[in-house]
Homo-oligomer: A and B are copies of this chain.
Amino acid sequence: MREIFKQEIEQLGLDLVSMAEHMSSAIDKATTALEKADLTLAEQVIDADESIDEIEQRIDEQAVSLLARQQPVATDLRVVVTALRLSATLERMGDLARHVADVARGRYPEVAAAQGRSYDILLDMARQASKVGTQVVELLRTNDLALAASIESDDEVLDRLHEQSFQVVLDEDEDLTRQQIVDVVLLGRYLERFGDHGVSVARRISFLVTGDLTNAVAMVAETSPRNSETS
């Protein structure tokens, strides 16, 4: 019984890594689609979102089935409940990558938000989000606490770029169409939220590894920072 349980928990971990790999590939492709107005890539991201949703559903069913059949307690229970939460977070990250691709597709053959400083800032945000995607995959593979800490501290980069994007958009000297202003605000919001979810994954893994509730409390208070969303 115990052996089967261990195998099932391992499978849950592998499914989460696989889900994260799909999500990471989605944000990578969405970033390139944005940069190069690449319609094919954008559509790949949009179509692939379904498979992320399918993995989420498999993980959730498996987790609930584990709870029912194995009735885990203590650490085992914490692992299963965390898997349920991580799957929801990874699914949202996949959605946000898809939203970025949606904007790239919607503006094709033009490049979305493509003008001057605001475009550079957005591309920096997208690249930073791609980095978060890669780090989240690695974190789920390794449970490396140093990596979790670095995902969390790196989120400041995204928040700072997000702030800057508002400053540029509000600067009347910047030559921008209304569509470009709308794109910068939407894309900035998607990418900033993507980063927040990365931080949420990092904190949940830290909590799982260390059992330190301080992080879990901070998580509730901080994953949607008050100051960075409404400029």
In the complex, the answer to whether B77 meets A217 with C-beta atoms within 8 Å is no
Interface residue total, chain A, C-beta cutoff 8 A: 43
Please give, as numbers and ranges, the residues of chain B lying within 8 Å of A64 by CB-CB distance.
77-78, 81
Cβ proximity bits A67-78 to B, threshold 8 Å, 1 near / 0 not? 110010110011
Please give, as numbers and ranges, the residues of chain B lying within 8 Å of A189 by CB-CB distance.
186, 189
Alpha-carbon distance between A88 and B88 when the two chains are bound, in angstroms: 10
Alpha-carbon distance between A224 and B96 when the two chains are bound, in angstroms: 10
| Shortest Cβ distance from A223 into B: residue | B95
Alpha-carbon distance between A64 and B122 when the two chains are bound, in angstroms: 40
In the complex, the answer to whether A99 meets B68 with C-beta atoms within 8 Å is no
Find residues 94-108 in chain A having any chain B CB closer than 8 Å to their own CB: 95, 98-99, 102-103, 106
Please give, as numbers and ranges, the residues of chain B lying within 8 Å of A57 by CB-CB distance.
217, 220
Q: Which of B46, B68, B220, B226 contacts A98 (CB 8 A)?
A: B226
Instruction: Let me know if A48 is at the binding interface, CB within 8 A.
Output: no
Cβ proximity bits A205-221 to B, threshold 8 Å, 1 near / 0 not? 00000000000010011
Cβ proximity bits A128-156 to B, threshold 8 Å, 1 near / 0 not? 00000000000000000000000000000
In the complex, the answer to whether B182 meets A178 with C-beta atoms within 8 Å is no
Please give, as numbers and ranges, the residues of chain B lying within 8 Å of A68 by CB-CB distance.
73-74, 77
Interface centre among A46, A64, A78, A224 (most CB of B within 10 A): A224
- Chain A residues within CB distance 8 Å of chain B: 46, 50, 53, 56-57, 64, 67-68, 71, 73-74, 77-78, 81, 84-85, 88, 91, 95, 98-99, 102-103, 106, 166, 169-170, 172, 178-179, 181-182, 185-186, 189, 217, 220-221, 224, 226, 229-231
Known: A67-B77, A67-B81, A102-B229. 14 other contacts (CB 8 A): A53-B221, A57-B217, A64-B77, A67-B67, A71-B73, A106-B230, A166-B182, A169-B178, A169-B182, A170-B179, A172-B178, A181-B182, A186-B189, A186-B229
